Amino acid sequence: MEPKKTYVRPVIRRQFMGAANKFGRFSIPEPLTSIDGVEVEHLVKDYGSPLFVFSESVLRRKMNELNQAFQTRYSQFQAAWSYKTNYLNAVCKVFHDEGSWAEVVSGFEYLKARKNGIPGNKIIFNGPYKKYEILKQAALDGARIHADHLDEIQDLVKISDEIGKTVNLAIRINLDTGMYPTWSRFGFNLESGHALEAARKIAHSNGKLKLTGIHCHIGTFMIDSAPYKRAAKKMADFYKRLKNELRQPMQYIDLGGGFVSANKLKAQYLSGSSVLPSFDSYAEAITSSLYDSFSPEEPPPLFLETGRGLVDEAGYLIASIVGNKTMPNGHRSLVLDAGVNLLYTSTWYDFKVSPTKHYTGTYEDVTLYGPLCMNIDVVRDSCLLPNLHRGESIVLHPVGAYNVTQWMQFIEMRPAIVMITPNREVKLIRRAETVDDINSFEVET
Ligand SMILES: *Cc1c(COP(=O)(O)O)cnc(C)c1O
């Protein structure tokens, strides 16, 4: 028998016209009552709000999808987890457990990877600033150092003298892939000959340095796979030149990161997943280009440093409504307990916003403000939500990439983070900050 419908008080509310645009009707958001089988309500009760939630199953699934897309097409493929995208140890350890190496861009991240048990020879060390002491440690550990500029190559010559050993390194390349603007500030430019010049410096270092690889990272959230095809071709040609002309012991090509996640850029009309390339389409573009370039030879090992594409969808943020207000123009808005302090990427993305219960009644276009006393603290300019009251929660998704590393302790403290395991256990992986935590850095005078 149908359960008896509960009575809902009728309300008269101003409806905003234009709830359809030329691409169709806006869709009513589906409620998200649980994450990986755990009720949102229980999570808030046990860990408070706001709360970041990571799904271990999604982390593992995405890592397997990436590995499968590349390993089925290319025998020598190795992923290295991009620490800056999310360096929570619990997240890194899941990726390492799935066979991923570490890719780091600072001394801090290098030490974090070492403390996670990753040996130097499975750490790719990128970035424009590597402090001398840490660079020396990385050289001693046999890390894969990717030089960004000539001063760094000079440092490595000195380090080679000090440790009395040849230092192997790769160089970062920037190149024209038809994507504009090009990221020309990192590494050595290919077309201008700077990259070749840097390689010559290494080749003529009296055996102190040896060039073993080339690296590029052409952009982030790349909504087209064609630039990877062009990058792979140019990198392959350069690789062959370094090997054959400069006689360097070349061992790998690293094509960096940049794959999309199912997020929605503010400028996009359609929702994320319907228009974006899959790992398979990037893999097809890259590996076919490498096979063409190296044929009939076996192409060299390929490394990738995928960040966002692996972790974004595994992260959720539960936030609660702390206030409800009507703006002077009649538009409704909600004040949340989480804002741009926790969601650095809200500048670029319209996260999906889901209510956490089934609601009857109408949905209305609302603005979501954060808790900060700052005009810029807007989480969504406009999204469709039911009539939510103070204390009720919503879920923002996907927020796993770049938020829990770029978040700021500003006005508010940072909240707890939990991970849900494949058998529905909830593990606290980072506790909420306290005033004493923050005070502990200050020195009493
Ligand atoms: C940030 C970064 C990555 C990861 O980029 P995504 O766009 O998150 O995949 C990889 N390599 C380098 C050098 C980076 O700086």
CA of 259 to the centre of ligand 1 (A): 9
Which CATH number goes with the domain that contains 224?
A: 3.20.20.10
What single-letter DSSP state applies at residue 274? G
Same domain, residue pair 298 and 385 = no
Q: How far is CA 181 from CA 185, 253, 381, in A?
A: 11, 23, 27
- pLDDT value at position 18? 45
Low-confidence ranges of the chain (pLDDT < 70): 1-3, 11-26, 269-274
CA of 404 to the centre of ligand 1 (A): 15
Give the C-alpha separation, 57 to 144, whole Å: 30
309 CA closest ligand 1 atom index: 9
- pLDDT value at position 11? 62
Give the C-alpha separation, 365 to 19, whole Å: 9
- pLDDT tens-digit series, residues 362-390: 899 999 999 999 999 999 999 999 999 99
- Which of 405, 430, 434 has the alpha carbon at shortest distance from 416? 430
Residue 441 within a domain: no
Phi, psi of 209 (to 5 degrees): -125, 150
Give the C-alpha separation, 324 to 241, whole Å: 64
CB–CB of 322/49 below 8 Å? no
- pLDDT value at position 179? 81
Domain that holds residue 98: 58-312
Same domain, residue pair 253 and 364 = no
Which CATH number goes with the domain that contains 416?
A: 2.40.37.10
- Beta strands 315-326 and 51-55 are antiparallel
- pLDDT value at position 239? 98
Same domain, residue pair 235 and 112 = yes
User: Which residue's alpha carbon is nearest to atom 3 within ligand 1?
Assistant: 257
User: Which residue's alpha carbon is nearest to atom 5 within ligand 1?
Assistant: 257
CA of 401 to the centre of ligand 1 (A): 11
Q: Positive or negative CA dihedral for 292, 69, 238, 219?
A: positive
Same domain, residue pair 187 and 49 = no
CA of 305 to the centre of ligand 1 (A): 6
- pLDDT tens-digit series, residues 241-299: 999 999 999 999 999 999 999 988 887 765 555 678 999 999 999 999 999 999 999 99
Residue 8 within a domain: no
Q: Is 361 left (phi over 0), alpha (psi -120 to 50) or beta?
A: left
- Ligand 1 pocket: which of 66, 83, 217, 279 to mutate (most atoms <8 Å of CB)? 217
Instruction: Identify the domain boundary among 312, 332, 354.
Output: 312
- pLDDT value at position 20? 54
Tokens of 64: 């397997």
Residue 204 within a domain: yes
Instruction: Identify the domain boundary among 312, 334, 351.
Output: 312
CB–CB of 354/397 below 8 Å? yes
CA of 375 to the centre of ligand 1 (A): 30
Same domain, residue pair 82 and 224 = yes
Same domain, residue pair 263 and 127 = yes
